[in-house]
Chains A and B, each alone.
Chain A
Amino acid sequence: MDINLAYKISINLLLFSTLLSSLELIRTPKLFLHFVYTTISKGNKHERWLLIQSLKVLLVILTVISFSKLPVSFFYGSFIALTLLEFYSQRLRKIGKDGSDQLRLLSLFAVSLCFFLDTHLSKLVPLIFIGMQVLLGYSTSGLVKVFSTYWRKGDVLSGILSTNGYGIPRFAITLKKSPVLEKSITYSAMAIMLLVPICFLLPYPEPILVSLFLVFSFHIGTAIIMGLNDFLFTFPVAFPGIIILHSMIFNY
C-alpha cells in the first residue's frame, strides 16, 4: 500500500471520527450534561460545552479543507489546534469516556507530534505507531477475555445485551434461549480479536487482510447491536498502518 494513500485514509477517518464525536457531544441534553462534563459549579456550563464542541467541528472542517486544498502549514496549524482542543475537551470529561475516545486522542497526538519529523518520516511514523497501538489493543482485549472466567463460560453476551445501555433486550432473550448460539458468538468475538495479532505474525498479506476485514465486520456488529458506533470509525484509522507495517516487516 502506498504511504501517501494510507496516510490520506487514516487522516480522513480520524477527522470523521472526531467530527462525529463532537456532533454527538453537542447533542448531550442539558439535563444529563453532568454525566459527561461533571462540575460542581452552580451555574450551568451547557453554553460553554456547546462552544467547545462547536469549535471542534469548525476545526475539523478547516483541517479537511487545508489537508486537500491549502499549503501544508495550514493543515499542520489547524490539526494541532484540533488536537489541543480535543485534549481540553477530554480533560473536562472526567467520566463517560470509552476506548475509542482514548484511541482518537492518542492518534491526534501522534499525528501532531510527527509534524516535527522530517518530511519522509512524518507520514510513516504515525501510521506505524497507531497501527501498533491497535495491534496491542486487539491482543489485550482478546487475551483478557480468554483469561476471564466470565467470558470463558460463554454466557456473558446475553447479560451484556440485556442492558438498555449496551444491548437489545429482545435479542438477549433469544440468545439466552439458545446457549449454543450464544457460546459460538461469544467465542467468535474473542477469536476475531486474537486473529489480528496472530495473522500479523504470518509472512503473507492475505491472512492479515482477511483478519482486518473480519474485525471490521465485528465493529459493524457491535455498532448495530451495542451502539458502539465510534469504535467503527476510530479503530479502522489504524488499519492502513497495520498493513504498511506488515509489508515492511515481511518485505512484500
Chain B
Amino acid sequence: MNYVVIGILAIFFIASIFYQIKSLQKWMKIFNPFNLLPNYSFFAPKPYVNDYRLVYKIVSDETSEWLEIPIYEKFKLIRAIWNPFKYYHKGMIDTTNFLLKEFHTLENKSFIKISENYLSILMVISAYLKREGLYDMTIQFAILSSEGGETIKVKNVVFASSYQTLNI
C-alpha cells in the first residue's frame, strides 16, 4: 500500500509541474476531472486591472436609465481576516470571461442566450429586480469594464445582451 500511495502522490506532483506550462493545460484537463491539478500563476502573466460591472436597463420603461447591480463593498480593514465578498467578485470575473469566450466561439451569436453563464447573470438581475419589487418586464443588460474606485471610469462595454423578457 505504501508504494501505491507514494506512487500516486509522486505522479501527481510531476503532473502538477507540467500543468504550470500554459500550452499543456488544455491537453491535461482531461486528466483533471476533479480540478486537483493546481495553477499557480496568480495574477500573472496579465493581471486583472479592471472591475467588471453589471448594469441593466428596463427597456419597457422609456424613462429608465442604465443602473448598476451593486456588487462591490468599500474597503474595510476586517477583510484581512474576513472577506466573503472575494468569492462573488471572482465569480463575476470568471462568469464574464467564460461568457466572452463562449460568445466569440459561437457562430450563431443568438445561442449565447442558452449559455449557463448568460442565464446565471440573468438570474442575478432577476433576483435583484424581484427584491426591488419589480416584476415582469423587458430588460437589456451589459457588462462594463471599469477602473478606479473613488471615481469610476468606464473603459469598455465588454458584453451587451439583446432584449430579454423576464417573467418573475
CB-defined interface of A9-50 with B at 8 Å, one 1/0 digit per residue?
000000000001000110111111011101110001000000
Instruction: Tell me the minimal C-beta distance from B72 to chain A in angstroms.
Output: 4
Most chain B beta-carbon neighbours within 10 Å: one of A106, A163, A173: A163
Instruction: Tell me the minimal C-beta distance from A231 to chain B in angstroms.
Output: 9
Determine whether B110 belongs to the interface, using a CB cutoff of 8 Å to chain A.
Answer: no
Instruction: Tell me the minimal C-beta distance from B95 to chain A in angstroms.
Output: 6
Determine whether B140 belongs to the interface, using a CB cutoff of 8 Å to chain A.
Answer: no
Q: What band does the interface of chain B fall in when counting residues whose beta carbon is under 8 Å from A?
A: 35 or more
With A24-B82, A102-B38, A125-B9 known as contacts, the answer to whether A164 contacts B90 (CB < 8 A) is no
Determine whether A58 belongs to the interface, using a CB cutoff of 8 Å to chain B.
Answer: no
With A25-B84, A169-B150 known as contacts, the answer to whether A160 contacts B5 (CB < 8 A) is no
Instruction: Classify the secondary structure of A's interface with B.
Output: helix
Within 8 A of A (CB), among B31-53: 34-36, 38-51
CB-defined interface of A213-227 with B at 8 Å, one 1/0 digit per residue?
000000010011001
Determine whether A96 belongs to the interface, using a CB cutoff of 8 Å to chain B.
Answer: yes
* CB contact between A35 and one of B45, B79, B88 (< 8 Å): that residue: B88
- A140 and B88 contact, CB distance less than 8 A: no
Interface size on A, residues (CB 8 A): 74
Q: Which of B55-63, B100-108, B112-120, B157-165 contacts A (4 or more CB under 8 A)?
A: B112-120
- B88 and A28 contact, CB distance less than 8 A: yes
Contact surface of B with A, Cβ cutoff 8 Å: 1-2, 4-6, 8-9, 13, 16-17, 20, 34-36, 38-51, 71-73, 75, 77, 79-95, 98, 116-117, 119-121, 123-124, 127-128, 131, 147-150
